[in-house]
Structure 1
């Protein structure tokens, strides 16, 4: 059984932080890993980010740790409206989402919205797109859908 997403393999855990330099260093030390490069999400013209249905200029600093089958993503948001900023303000630092790779992003969003999980934020990244679904009430964490463009 593959559930609503067609996939039950967690590909990423996203954690919100106030100081990505400090926290990524702490993770690197803790796991004996190299501190990853910190990247900044694309500008609004490329990312086309929408939060609660409204365009936003929100950006975030990201650091990725590959931990075997799961990627750990640290997220330090700017102060523009976004799921990251609001979640950090409301819940403090800590887990934000678990992510799954899907095919048919629009269909998956419609399916989840039909089950009572509204689309909270979506956007584009180089090579694909993402969507955060508001599953917090039931799952105690958001679910992120990731759809990567097929490379030939």
Structure 2
């Protein structure tokens, strides 16, 4: 029986904020000995319904994913200038590890439970096939946690 807070202890993603995704993706590809992945752009607000600190935001980002194991991706994130957890991280901390992510079930329940534990929701949105939430776990866990819930 898994009695972890999230119902899983498998990290599925490490998210890294970068200033230049093309250049950084090339460096990772060379380091890992793989092809440079496709760089995608997140959807518009109309598609994603992104909220940052409880307010709608038009924030978008360029993303590149490197599969580095059976269940783990390295996600590179280059934010635009709109308000977001990505932009705030880049502006205040610079480039680096932004989050670790877990695939979960019951997004609302998990977000509520984490908030009760003093770990508030920072940003949320939708993507094709699911939804995400970034939770501020930095006080206790020293990192932002991303929850990913995929549709069945």
Q: TM-score, normalised by structure 2?
A: 0.97
Pick aligned residue for 1:145 from 144, 147, 151:
147
The aligned residue for residue 60 of structure 1 is 61
Structure 1 SS opposite 2:25: helix
The total of aligned residue pairs comes to: 150
The aligned residue for residue 39 of structure 1 is 40
The aligned residue for residue 19 of structure 2 is 18
The aligned residue for residue 94 of structure 1 is 96
Structure 2 SS opposite 1:131: strand
Structure 2 Cα separation of the partners of residues 50 and 133 of structure 1: 13
CA RMSD of aligned residues (A): 0.6
Q: TM-score, normalised by structure 1?
A: 0.97
Q: Which runs of 5+ in 1 are unaligned?
A: none
Structure 2 Cα separation of the partners of residues 86 and 12 of structure 1: 20
Q: Which runs of 4+ in 1 moved over 3 A?
A: none
CA contact (8 A) 1:2 1:8 kept: no
